[in-house]
Amino acid sequence: MTGPVRRLLPVLPLPLLMLVALALSGCAKAPEQHSEWVIRSRLVFLSEDFAAERAPPPVAQFRLAFPYIAGDIYGAPTTGDYINAVVGADYGFQIDLNRSHAGLLASLEPTEFSLSYLHIEPANARVARLAPMVLQADGIDQLGRTNWFDPDSKRTLMLLYLDRAATISGTGRAFGRPLRYQIQTSAPGYVWVAQQAGADESVYTVIPQPARVLLAVTPVASDVSTAGASAPTGVVSPGAVSAPVSVPQRVASPTRTDTPAR
The verdict on residue 204 lying in a domain is yes
The verdict on residue 177 lying in a domain is yes
DSSP helix/strand/coil, 257: strand
Rounded distance between C-alpha atoms, residue 99 and residue 34, angstroms: 10
DSSP helix/strand/coil, 187: coil
The verdict on residue 18 lying in a domain is no
The verdict on residue 197 lying in a domain is yes
The H or E element containing residue 231 is none
Domains held by the chain: number: 1
The reported pLDDT for the residue numbered 199 is: 84
How confident is the chain (262 residues) per 10-residue block, as mean pLDDT?
53 53 52 90 96 95 96 95 93 95 96 97 98 92 94 96 98 91 97 92 96 95 39 37 46 45 48
**Closest C-alpha among 122, 114, 117, 115 to residue 167:** 122
The verdict on residue 26 lying in a domain is no
The verdict on residue 2 lying in a domain is no
The reported pLDDT for the residue numbered 220 is: 81
What is the span of the domain harbouring residue 186? 38-218
Give the bridge partners for 120, in sequence order.
168
The reported pLDDT for the residue numbered 241 is: 66
Pairing of strands 133-136, 92-96: unpaired
The reported pLDDT for the residue numbered 233 is: 30
The verdict on residue 133 lying in a domain is yes
The verdict on residue 201 lying in a domain is yes
